[in-house]
Amino acid sequence: MYGGGYNQQQPYGQQPNQYGAPQAQYGAPANQYGAPQANQYGAPPANQYGAPPAGAYGAAPTQQYGAPQTQYGAPANQYGAPQTQYGAPANQYGSPPTQYGSPPTQYGAPQTQYGAPPQQSYAAPAQQPYGQQSYGQQPYGQQQQYGQQSYNPPGQYGNPAGGYQAQPAFTPSSGGPRFLGVQIPAPPPAPPLSNLPNYNPQFDADRIRKATKGFGTDEDTVINVMMPLDAFQVDVLSRTFEQQNGRSLMITIEKEMSGWLEYILRLKSLGPLGGDLWLIHRAGKGMGTHEDLLNETLLCRSNEEMFLLKEGFRRMYNKDLVSFIRGELSMKTERMFNMALSGTRDENPMVNHQQVQQDIETLYRAGPGKIGTDEISICGILLQRSNQHLQALAQGFTQRHGLTLSKMIEKEFSGHMRDGLLHISRFAETDGNGVYRDAKLLEAAMAGMGTKDERLCYRLCRMHWDRQRFGLVKNQYRQLYRRDLVARVKGETSGKYQNALVSLISQN
């Protein structure tokens, strides 16, 4: 849907210390945080977009996503303070930059950066918007585990022989890994936080246990406990619940809930990264492929997010993500997703205006300017350029040729490739950050006869993690449809499922 890559980071003067090379083994040892289990997340529900899924998703896994605390116990204040703006680059949400459709002579001097992140000191926790907590003061990458190591490049697992370790195709985010626009707990082999300031996971774990024990379930209590939590709090709660009750939070949700309420609580409990991994795996289960899930989870991602997805997919499902996607797609659509999965996008927030003009003409000659369509040339530009470059490209293409980028794609492409490229082009158009596009996607999940419940669930859940950006989406929705998003959702849903979605939307 909206893809990560909202906030591409500008590399600073020198590379920060890196995550650390992933372990050479994929399929973590037993009881390890994130170890893949057979049928961990179960079978997909029947009638994907109509009826709610079955109450049980298959065989119960022996371990929840998240291992017992004693295995990874980490000191507090480990991952550094989150950034003050959820990673949003400067001037990202403001008015569009100068126009790009004029003759190339206007591009002699570079313009103001589209997304250069502000300088920030990590000596002390920054003031967080929307009540977010600060989870430590030590800059990410200075822990002993990671201080002398670096990422392997995407697609390369384990250190090469002889101790040489190549540099990655991206610069890890300062302060810790970022996913869906927010800082997340560092994945294994990093030890997770054992506690958080101003959060008591034991209290919340006990409330959920009491709400789910005995006959019947107090769904409202579970909703009220889980929906306000951020990615770090969900991670600590999940592990604390399993330590206190001997059963994972995931299994508890699966056994005590059903229908779309179970679906939304499952996504919430997995966190931003775990939720996307589950959705990607779900896209390939059963008969056929859920192309919309692949578009919204794999396109418009930053290089760091793509690395985390590939490493996490191998860890959770013991499968190579590139091979998994290759088995679901074919021909030029497969090649398009291979480009996205390479994780080698240009992430320099400085826009090369001469290159923008060249790309505008290349796109036109590959599409409307010739008989037939050069699909690979168009894919190469849209999948490899930075968000800032694509925003300038979308503006310039319309001004130069009198045709929006998305309209050109609609005329030149069809099927899954068209939908994927439209997802990218609409991210770049209007606001350059996909806010307008995501407001339209929410309405599309509710418009017409019947509600596309699954799309509504995962779109709202994926958007809500980045609360600052989600606030912009809600405002955009109100401007477009003259109606509040909460009121619209209430008109399309009912019961506890409605309560869960309204609670997600109402977090600020």
DSSP string spanning 278-347?
HHHHHHTSSSS--HHHHHHHHTT--HHHHHHHHHHHHHHHSS-HHHHHHHH--HHHHHHHHHHHT-----
Greater confidence (42 vs 404) lies with 404
Domain boundaries, the chain: 1-106+123-361, 362-506
Q: How far apart are the first and last CA of the chain?
A: 21
CB atoms within 10 A of CB 471: 15
Q: Which residues pair with 182 in a beta bridge?
A: 179
pLDDT at 21: 39
Taking the C-alpha atoms of residue 273 and residue 211, their distance in angstroms, rounded to an integer, is 27
Strongest mean pLDDT among 37-51, 143-157, 307-321? 307-321
Over residues 8-19, mean pLDDT:
41
Residues above pLDDT 90, as percent of the chain: 55
Q: Report yes or no: 461 and 499 within 8 Å, Cβ to Cβ.
A: no
Residue that is written with structure tokens 């995501």 in the block: 438
pLDDT at 191: 86
CB atoms within 10 A of CB 421: 25
Task: Provide the 3-class DSSP secondary structure of residue 121.
Answer: coil
pLDDT band at 355 (very low <50, low <70, confident <90, very high): very high
Q: Is pLDDT above 70 for 32?
A: no
- Measured CA to CA in angstroms, residue 150 lies from 169, 267, 308, 353 at distances of 11, 30, 14, 33
- pLDDT digits 0-9 by tens, 199-230: 999 999 999 999 998 888 899 999 999 999 99
Over residues 147-172, mean pLDDT:
42
Q: Report yes or no: 81 and 136 within 8 Å, Cβ to Cβ.
A: yes
pLDDT at 508: 67
pLDDT band at 173 (very low <50, low <70, confident <90, very high): confident
pLDDT at 226: 96
- Can you list the alpha helix ranges (DSSP code H) found in 40-135? 69-72
The first and second tokens of residue 251, run together, are 């299994």
Composition of the chain by helix, strand, coil, percent to 5: 50, 0, 50
What single-letter amino acid sits at 471? G
Strongest mean pLDDT among 25-34, 156-165, 248-257? 248-257
- pLDDT digits 0-9 by tens, 304-326: 999 999 999 999 999 999 999 99
Over residues 469-496, mean pLDDT:
96
- pLDDT digits 0-9 by tens, 189-198: 888 887 898 9
Q: What is the dihedral of CA 32, 38, 41, 46, to 10 degrees?
A: 180
pLDDT at 294: 95
The first and second tokens of residue 45, run together, are 């529900």
Tell me which residue of 5, 101, 89 sits closest to 424, measured CA to CA.
5
Taking the C-alpha atoms of residue 130 and residue 133, their distance in angstroms, rounded to an integer, is 9
Q: Report yes or no: 205 and 245 within 8 Å, Cβ to Cβ.
A: yes
pLDDT at 215: 82
pLDDT at 395: 94
Cβ-count burial 203-222 (b if 16+ within 10 Å, e if not)? ebbbbbeebbeeeebbbeeb
Over residues 36-59, mean pLDDT:
43
Q: Report yes or no: 183 and 176 within 8 Å, Cβ to Cβ.
A: yes
pLDDT band at 135 (very low <50, low <70, confident <90, very high): low
pLDDT band at 168 (very low <50, low <70, confident <90, very high): low
Taking the C-alpha atoms of residue 257 and residue 461, their distance in angstroms, rounded to an integer, is 17
Over residues 461-472, mean pLDDT:
97
Taking the C-alpha atoms of residue 29 and residue 87, their distance in angstroms, rounded to an integer, is 33
DSSP 31: T
DSSP string, 406-461: HHHHHHH--HHHHHHHHHHHHHHSTTSSSHHHHHHHHHHHHSSSS--HHHHHHHHH
- pLDDT digits 0-9 by tens, 233-260: 999 999 999 999 999 999 999 999 999 9
pLDDT at 220: 94
Over residues 107-123, mean pLDDT:
38
pLDDT at 383: 95
Task: Provide the 3-class DSSP secondary structure of residue 205.
Answer: helix
pLDDT at 257: 92
Superfamily of domain 362-506: Annexin (1.10.220.10)
What single-letter amino acid sits at 18? Q
Mean pLDDT of the chain: 75
